[in-house]
Structure 1
Amino acid sequence: MSTAVAMNHASSRAESTTRSIERRSAADLPYERFLKEYLEPNRPVIISGAAPQWNAMRTWTPEFFKNRFGSLTVNVSYETKMKMSELIDAVLASTPEKPGPYLHKVIIYRDMPELLADLSPDNVYAFPRRYAGSLMQERFRRPDGFLKLLIGGAGGKFPLMHYDTDNSHAMITEIYGDKEFILFPPEDTQYMYPFANSSHTSEIENPDQADIVKYPLFAKATKYRGTVYPGDSILIPSAWWHAARALNPSISVCTNMMYRSNWPGFVNEACDPVAGGSSVNRLLKRAYLNGLGAVLTTCEGLQKAMPRGPLSRKLAEFAPRYRQQLPTEVDYPKHRRTAASQS
């Protein structure tokens, strides 16, 4: 490669503006302040000490998964299945130069319900949880917030930079190891080069190595960077683009959240013509979801006004706002409830 070509190639990977993701301590961040300062204004934050009550914080290690679930075959990605023992070996052998597989397709209550007891009581910041409400349409209902298990080794990462579907918020809690996150705000979507057939995934796989010649607008994007350590939770607000990279063997869990602040975007996505259905059906769905949003906002407001008592607990069946108002934590399928309620 000539000197001129090398210089042009280096300049094509120009660095965008970088800011640090704000960090707070759970000891100084009451839940209602979290709602007001971060969830409602759609601002990311890293919260240290977010779920000290989890037994997972004391027991989950790569060896724990290899010893207890070694013979279990898991969906690592859309294309790959592996035995857990083989996955853990590959995770421990992973390097930044030759990253191993990154587990991101395991839904805990569906695939490994034995783990639920180690994640109870729920993370107090993983609320409100409209997904768990009994009024949500069945195709959107996720009784535990759709808890996903994420395991990767050094250099391992989710295959695509993206933002979460349904316009949902994501709360990711690091249990073992360290993971670096890079986020971009919704207003930078115009610089993110989404795929033509997938508006929430980017053609840019690695934001640290983006080719600015191929993706020139990306240089205008504002990058937010932060690292989570064991016990930290990171809020990735709705429509925030993000990529994550394990710095060493890492275990974390992710849950999705819906609230009044991101409900309009959820309705728009659910009723998008791309989702299918006739125009009449989409209009009816939009009317139903808009009405449901108003009902759930009322339920959440009444829970805030009356956080204790039978009425509040009843309203929590429709839109659980607080951890302690969830009956038996979450309404898991009956044949899996035993594993969920051992704590």
Structure 2
Amino acid sequence: MKLDLQNIPRRKNLSKEEFLQEYFIPKKPVVIEDLTENWPAYQKWNFDYFREKAGDVVVPLYDGKPAKGRQNSHGPAMKVPFREYVDLLEKGPTDLRMFFFNMLQNCPELVEDFQYPDLGVKFFKKLPVLFVGGEGSKVVMHYDMDLANNFHFNFVGKKRVILYPPDQTGLLYKVPYSIVSMEIIDMDKPDFTKYPALAKARGFETILEHGDALYIPSHWWHWIKYEKASLSLTLRSLPKSPGKIAEVLNNLLFVRNYDNLMRKIRGQDWIDYKNRIAIKRTHKNAGIE
């Protein structure tokens, strides 16, 4: 038994009109292989370059351990200067990841190394962010709280990405009061005995290497494994519809705060309760006794 995954289409010389009509409007993912070839980042961005340009910037690092008990669900494992983190990455496998590193706030000169693509999409230009991870590190299956359309550009290393559309949510063991699947589930080697609904979910996958650009539509689930230590840039296009804006506000103002409050009050009992509900609901959706 294995996951039901199709390859994400890969395109070159994709026009703005083709992107809008074939992918953006119908909300389908695509890898654009040549979108970054004329960017300075395509040639310049490597770990030595970031060690030089952003080495003194102190960055929060997150590990792969699920939060337990009364721990806040968003707390970093440690904070170190960027150059020390690069040293860690180059020593070998590590589950330490850096995410949502705001380039405008921390190293604005790096913004000169890329351009916002002309794809007929309005980008939120105040939030170009970097994602960096060590070899073997993994990102739990989730969708983004702000429901952004993501354009994810990989420049260093190699990563595997699995995507599921929103209509597969009922089969993905979504945890209540969150935007994540159960953290204990390893999508790299899923336990179909414990989590049989995963075999019924229909998704997509790809491998991202140097220069690849992945479009992840709004509200799509994504899971990522850093096959090699990697550095990527994400540009975002925020939702405009009243319904999605209302959902974003609910995620930011209620869901996250309520979950952290309940963690503080009930500790591990709250986490265990949510996981039981996730399994019960998912198995009901999948028709599994």
Q: Tell me which interval the TM-score lies in, with the shorter structure as reference length.
A: 0.7 to 0.9
- The match for 2:31 is 46
- The match for 2:182 is 203
SS of residue in 2 equivalent to 1:248: strand
**Structure that is richer in helix per residue:** 1
- The match for 2:172 is 192
**Structure that is richer in strand per residue:** 2
SS of residue in 1 equivalent to 2:233: strand
- The match for 1:92 is 90
Runs of 4+ in 1 over 3 A off after TM superposition: 270-276
CA separation in 2, counterparts of 1:206 and 1:89?
27
Equivalent position to 2:41, from 47, 50, 56 = 56
Equivalent position to 2:18, from 25, 33, 47 = 33
CA separation in 2, counterparts of 1:125 and 1:167?
19
Give the 5 Å matches for 1:162-201.
162-198=142-178, 200-201=179-180
Give the 5 Å matches for 1:62-211.
62-77=47-62, 78-79=75-76, 80-95=78-93, 99-119=94-114, 121-125=115-119, 127-129=121-123, 132=124, 143-144=125-126, 146-158=127-139, 160-198=140-178, 200-204=179-183, 205-211=185-191
Do 2:11 and 2:33's aligned partners in 1 also have CA atoms closer than 8 Å? Answer: yes
How far did 1:127 drift?
2.3
CA separation in 2, counterparts of 1:53 and 1:18?
32
Letter matched to residue 151 of structure 1: V
Give the 5 Å matches for 1:329-340.
none
Q: Give the share of equivalent positions with the same residue, in percent.
A: 28
Equivalent residues, number? 240
Consecutive unaligned residues of structure 2, counting only runs of 5 or more, are 63-74, 255-289
How far did 1:187 drift?
0.9
Q: Deviations over 1:259-303 (max 9, x none)?
A: 56xx35523403549835xxxxxxxxxxxxxxxxxxxxxxxxxxx
CA separation in 2, counterparts of 1:217 and 1:258?
31
Q: Deviations over 1:103-133 (max 9, x none)?
A: 11311112221211112x323348223xx4x
- The match for 2:11 is 24
- The match for 1:15 is 2
Letter matched to residue 134 of structure 2: G
Equivalent position to 2:231, from 226, 232, 251 = 251
* Larger RCO (alpha carbons 8 Å, 6+ apart): 2
Could you say what the CA RMSD is over the residues aligned between the two structures, in angstroms?
Answer: 2.1
**Alpha carbons of 1:123 and 1:22: their partners in 2 closer, same or farther (altered >3 Å)?**
same
**Alpha carbons of 1:271 and 1:247: their partners in 2 closer, same or farther (altered >3 Å)?**
closer
Higher CA-based Rg: 1
CA separation in 1, counterparts of 2:23 and 2:248?
24
Consecutive unaligned residues of structure 1, counting only runs of 5 or more, are 1-13, 133-142, 277-343
**Alpha carbons of 1:270 and 1:62: their partners in 2 closer, same or farther (altered >3 Å)?**
closer
**Alpha carbons of 1:126 and 1:228: their partners in 2 closer, same or farther (altered >3 Å)?**
farther
